[in-house]
Structure formats: C-alpha cells, structure tokens
Structure 1
Amino acid sequence: MSLDIKKIPAESFERVHIDSSQAERITKPSLSFWQDAWLRIRKNKGAIASIFILVFIIIMAFVGPMVSPHDAETQTITHANLPPKVQGLEKLGIFDGVGTLAGKEVDLYEMKKVDTYYWFGTDGLGRDMFSRVWEGTQISLLIAFVAAIIDMVIGVAYGGISGYYGGRVDDIMQRVVEILYGIPTLVIVILMLLVMEPGVTAIIIAITLTGWIGMSRIVRGQVLKFKNQEFVLASRTLGASNGRIISKHILPNILGVIIINTMFTIPTAIFFEAFLSFIGLGLQAPDASLGTLINDGYKLIRFQPHILLYPSIVLSLLMIAFNLLGDGLRDAFDPKMKD
C-alpha cells in the first residue's frame, strides 16, 4: 500500500532572524502612577464636568463681585426686593424685571423708576444679590478649604503615628478618638460657637474640632496595612529610619486615599457651614455666606423666590461637583480599576 506524501518545501524550515534590539521593546509608553490616574480621570465624564463647574464657581467667587456694577454692602431701600433683570435678555421675556405685586405682574423697575440692572435682583434692603451670592460663595469656600486642610494635617499626623508605632501608643490614641467620636458633633460645635465670638474663625475651629477623626481612622488603617509589607520590611532591614520609611514608602502609597477623603471632606464642610449659618449660629450680619443667604431667602420664598434660588443653586452645584469629583478620583486611584 503506497502513501502519497507531499513534500514540504525547504523554505519552511528556514531560521527566522529576530532583531535583538526590538525583542524586548515596550510598545506603550511607560506611565507614572499620576499619569495613569489622570488618563482614567479623563475617561470619567462626570469628574471632568465637575472640574469645569468647580473652576467656574471658584473664578466667579473672586471675579463676580468685581464685574458687578453694584456693591454687595450698599443699601438702597428704594431698590428693595427687585426681581432679576439682565440687559439684552429682557426682550426675550426672561430676566425682564417683572414681578408680582398685589396678585398682578408688573414691571417693578419701571414702577420704582429704577434705571439700572440687577442681574440676580435685590434683597429686602436693596443690596445687589449678584455680588452677595459670589461673596458668600467666597466665604463658604474659604471656610471649607481651610477646615479641610486642617482636618487633613491633623488626621494624617494622628492616624499615621497611631498606626505606625502601634502597641500602647495606638491603644491610648484610639481611646481618645473613641471618646471624641461618641460625643455628637453638633453638640460640640454649638457649645464652641456659644463660647466664642461668631465669625469665620469660630466656624473653622468648630468644624475642625472633630472633623479630623474620620481622616485619622482611615489613615491608621492604611498605615497598618502597609507597615508590614515586604518593601517596608526590606527598607527597615537596610537601616532606614522611621522618618524615611514613612515619607518615602508609606505616605506615597496612601496619598491617593488622603486626597480622596479630603475631596469628600470639602463638601461636608460647606454643607455644615451652611447649616450653622442657616440656624443662626454661623456668620452674623452684615457678613454673608451661602448659609446666611439661604436663611434670608427661605423667609420670602413665596414672594421673592430669587433671593433663595441663586445661593441654593450654587450650593447644590458645589455639593454635587465635589462628590462627583471625589468618586472619579476614587476610581482613578484604585489600582484594581485597570482597563
């Protein structure tokens, strides 16, 4: 029985020559941790939109009072409770200065013989709401950022020391945290504000009294996780000091968690400041924040809704944008969220 065997051409057995310089070439560029995180943030549309919103609000908080033709503190009683009126938009039937008086819609600017424009209207004392909203936003952001930075510094230092040294030091420090955590935050804040003179400093101190506890517990957990890792043990074996181990090995690995927690602390501080001002324990007149403006506006919501509307919109945008940005940073810094 014969078999028909096809011959394989000799060319198929030729040796393939590979350029050794190209054998281990990396096709994609090498990215650092921060570059990789930025690429992932760019894919998060909510985080990118939040960045633009926050940048716009922060810029307007400082530029808004300067571009307004009216001062935030000047009182003109004859211009009190005017609705918004914007030049150019009045012809479209919006922001035309028309308000309700005795159940009828009338042009309040024409009735009061006002020949200027108030873009956000005026309050009960005739002060420009546009300038007051952005100056109030400026104060609220200042309180929130300062409080968040203080919380971060105290929380990272306290939690890092507690977690790194452990033992009796950790037991004592954590018992102090548990005592403070068991006392309602609002009670501590109200007592502090009653003792101190109301103002920006008093609110910052009141917020930071217990605000650092959450950061310290998160940092402590992360330090406990990393301090026994192989790279830390190797560094300690080679004679590295505690300061070098913390600054060069542990802190860079928990920096993402610190940034994420700080981003969630800022909207919490903004809301807490607005809440304190709303119940009358925050800033006092004539100073303004988003909380005081909302407190003034809710009393006249049926008759002058614009006094409440604009600070509420700014406060809501700040809360939503910071939380969305915090979610985006959490996804970007999480090493498990690889593409």
Structure 2
Amino acid sequence: MTNKLEKLPKDSFERITIDSTQAEKISKPSLSFWQDAWLRIRKNKAAIVSMFILIFIVFMTFAGPFMVKHDPEAVKVSHANLPPKVPGLEKLGIFDGVGKLGSKTVNLYELKKIDTYYWFGTDSLGRDLFSRLWKGTQISLLIAFVAAFIDVVVGVIYGGISGYYGGRTDDIMQRIVEVLIGIPTLVIVILMIMMMDSGIWSIIIAISITGWIGMSRIVRGQVLKYKNQEFVLAARTLGASDRRIIGKHLLPNLMAIIIVNMMFTIPTAIFFEAFLSFIGLGLQAPKASLGTLINDGYKFISYQPYMLFFPAFVLSLLMIAFNLIGDGLRDALDPKMKD
C-alpha cells in the first residue's frame, strides 16, 4: 500500500497581518495605585458595611441633637430616670415608658403625668439621653480625630527625620523615644491632666504626648527601607534636595502605611478618652462624652440598664467599625495582598 499525503486546500488558511503599533497595546485600562486599592477594598464587605455605619454615626452626631426638642444639658429633676419611650413603638410593647419603681413595674410617664417623649430615656437629673448621647459621641470623635491627627503629624515628622538623616541624629532621637516608652502612658496622661484644667484640649494634649511614638517608629523603619533604594539614589544623583526626595519620593510611598495606622490610632484614642472619662479624669459635668455617659449608666445598671446600654453600644460600634476599616485598608493598600 502506498501512503498518500493529503494536501489541504489553500483557502483553508487565512493570512493575519499584525499592526506593529498595536502589538503591545493593553486592552484593559491601566489603574492608578489608589484606584486599584479601591477596587480591592470594595470586595471586603465588612469594611464597606463598617464605612456606612461610621458615616451614619458621624451624621447622627450632628443631626441627632436637633431631632428632639430637648436640650442635652437642661436639668429637669421631675423628669429624672424615665425609661425610653418612642412614638409608634410604644404600641408594640417596646420603648413604651414602662419601668421599675421599687419592686413594681409601672408606666412612669403616666405616673408623673409627663406628656413628652424621651427616645432613650433620661438620666438621674432628667437630662435627655438621646441628644446627650449624640452630643457626647460628637465630642469623643472630635477628641479622637484631633489627637490622631497630632499623632500622625508629629510621628511622621519625627520618624522621618530620624530615619532619613540617621547617624548621631537617629541615635539621639531614638534614645528620647526609648525613655518615653519606658514610662507608663497612663502615668504621663494622669500627670498632664492633673496639671492642666479639665477640658477637651487637656485630654487631647494628654493623649498626644506619647501617642505619636508608635507612628514615629513605623515611619522610621519605612524610611530606612526606602532611602537606599534605586529611585532615591537616582534622585540624589540628579541633584534633588533632601526636601524634594522626602516630599516627592519617600512620603508618597509612606502614605499607605500612614493611613492604615491612623485608622487604628483613632479607635485607640476613642477608647482612651472613654477610659479617662469613666475613671473621672475626663470631661466634667455638664459636658458629656461616651466615657462620662458610660460612667453614669454604670451607677444605675441595676435599675436603669438602658442608661449604660446605648453609649456602650455606640462605643462598641465605633471600635469595631474603625478596626474593620483599618483591616480592609491594610489588605487593599498592601501589594502583597493582591488577588
């Protein structure tokens, strides 16, 4: 038998011409670092939900005190220790103004002949807890954001100078940091608050005295990592000044780690302020914060648990939301975490 090679007809082939100008064209649009990070954080459902919760709480801190007609600092002793009562919900058997009077459960609004509503009830001085809660949350967030901002600014500048210049400058600056770390933070904060008049700014200054140390150490480590890399050496070879190298080359590469650590610094400041107010070293009456409200509620936890529940719940939401957002940002801004 003879094997015959079967030839395919010429029309079975088609010549393809490739345009050399389109050979390396990328069909998918290129994304910047921040656009790519946003696409990754959108996949983190916990971080997105936390963002909405945080936005809602911030909105309520401004709108909440105006949603009711009660002044958060107005004292009405005749309205003291009233349980929550909300229009509409009272018909469902919840938030209906029913509370304990001794060993009996009665409608305190009817007993005291009060025709107004207190959505979260009142405290021992008859102050509205709804407006007081959101006003206190506003003050706690203000203290936390300002303290975190000061920590970031001081920490970035201190750590950047220490890491960039190195040598004797770095040795002296790090010895100062080691001395401050060796002293318990709570001792420093208590001494500063005792030396200054109690108020918002005294708490901010007290929290900021040692709060910047963690940020400075992180920034110093990153600067030591980047300052000897090729892009920095090339800029220095081309005659770029130290200011330009830090501002144009080092700082942009540090922004991701700075933002992530700031998101973890804010809840730490919120909790620390609440702790100081809880032990009586924070804001003084009639001002309110989450710490003072929790302290007031703790005293009446057996009879009016709602006084403790609402501020503790908001504080817990803030702590969880900030930490989940921080985790999401860390994963999104870290190139090693790419899918």
TM-score normalized by the length of structure 1: 0.98
- Give the Cα separation in 2 of the matches to 1:55 and 1:302: 33
Corresponding residue SS for 1:99: strand
- Give the Cα separation in 1 of the matches to 2:179 and 2:11: 82
Residue number in structure 2 paired with 1:213: 213
- Give the Cα separation in 1 of the matches to 2:49 and 2:23: 42
Residue number in structure 2 paired with 1:41: 41
Residue number in structure 2 paired with 1:334: 334
Residue number in structure 1 paired with 2:297: 297
The 1:14–1:99 alpha-carbon spacing in structure 2 relative to 1, beyond 3 Å, is: closer
Residues 130-157 of structure 1 deviation map (CA, whole Å, 9 limit, x = unaligned): 0110110011000000000000000000
1:101-116 alignment runs, 5 A limit: 101-116=101-116
Corresponding residue SS for 1:210: helix
Residue number in structure 2 paired with 1:62: 62
Corresponding residue SS for 2:100: strand
1:294-333 alignment runs, 5 A limit: 294-333=294-333
Q: Which amino acid aligns with 1:158?
A: Y
- Give the Cα separation in 1 of the matches to 2:244 and 2:131: 49
1:73-112 alignment runs, 5 A limit: 73-112=73-112
Residue number in structure 2 paired with 1:137: 137
Residue number in structure 1 paired with 2:4: 4
Residues 224-281 of structure 1 deviation map (CA, whole Å, 9 limit, x = unaligned): 1110111111111111111111111110001000000000000000000000000011
1:24 Cα deviation after fit: 2.4
Q: Which amino acid aligns with 2:284?
A: Q
Residues 178-231 of structure 1 deviation map (CA, whole Å, 9 limit, x = unaligned): 110111000101111111111111100100000000000000000011101111
Corresponding residue SS for 2:122: coil
- Give the Cα separation in 1 of the matches to 2:26 and 2:14: 27
1:14 Cα deviation after fit: 5.0
Q: Which amino acid aligns with 2:203?
A: I
Residue number in structure 2 paired with 1:27: 27
Q: Which amino acid aligns with 1:320?
A: I
1:21 Cα deviation after fit: 4.5
Residue number in structure 1 paired with 2:257: 257
- Give the Cα separation in 2 of the matches to 1:232 and 1:22: 34
1:23 Cα deviation after fit: 2.5
Corresponding residue SS for 2:336: coil
- Give the Cα separation in 2 of the matches to 1:100 and 1:204: 39
- Give the Cα separation in 2 of the matches to 1:14 and 1:208: 73
- Give the Cα separation in 1 of the matches to 2:255 and 2:315: 28
Matched, 1:233 2:233: yes
Contiguous gaps of at least 5 residues in structure 2 = none
Residue number in structure 1 paired with 2:270: 270
- Give the Cα separation in 2 of the matches to 1:28 and 1:337: 21
Contiguous gaps of at least 5 residues in structure 1 = none
The 1:58–1:14 alpha-carbon spacing in structure 2 relative to 1, beyond 3 Å, is: closer
Residue number in structure 1 paired with 2:184: 184
Corresponding residue SS for 1:336: helix
Residues 88-128 of structure 1 deviation map (CA, whole Å, 9 limit, x = unaligned): 11001111001112222211100010000000000000000
- Give the Cα separation in 1 of the matches to 2:274 and 2:43: 33
- Give the Cα separation in 2 of the matches to 1:186 and 1:173: 22
Residue number in structure 2 paired with 1:121: 121
Residue number in structure 1 paired with 2:197: 197
**Paired residue total:** 339
The 1:14–1:61 alpha-carbon spacing in structure 2 relative to 1, beyond 3 Å, is: closer
Q: Which amino acid aligns with 1:278?
A: F
TM-score normalized by the length of structure 2: 0.98
Corresponding residue SS for 1:155: helix
Moved more, 67-76 or 11-20: 11-20
Residues 270-311 of structure 1 deviation map (CA, whole Å, 9 limit, x = unaligned): 000000000011111111100000001001001011111111
1:12 Cα deviation after fit: 5.3
Identity rate of aligned residues, in percent? Answer: 75
1:74 Cα deviation after fit: 1.0
Corresponding residue SS for 1:72: coil
- Give the Cα separation in 1 of the matches to 2:197 and 2:134: 24
Residue number in structure 2 paired with 1:165: 165
Residue number in structure 1 paired with 2:154: 154
Corresponding residue SS for 2:2: coil
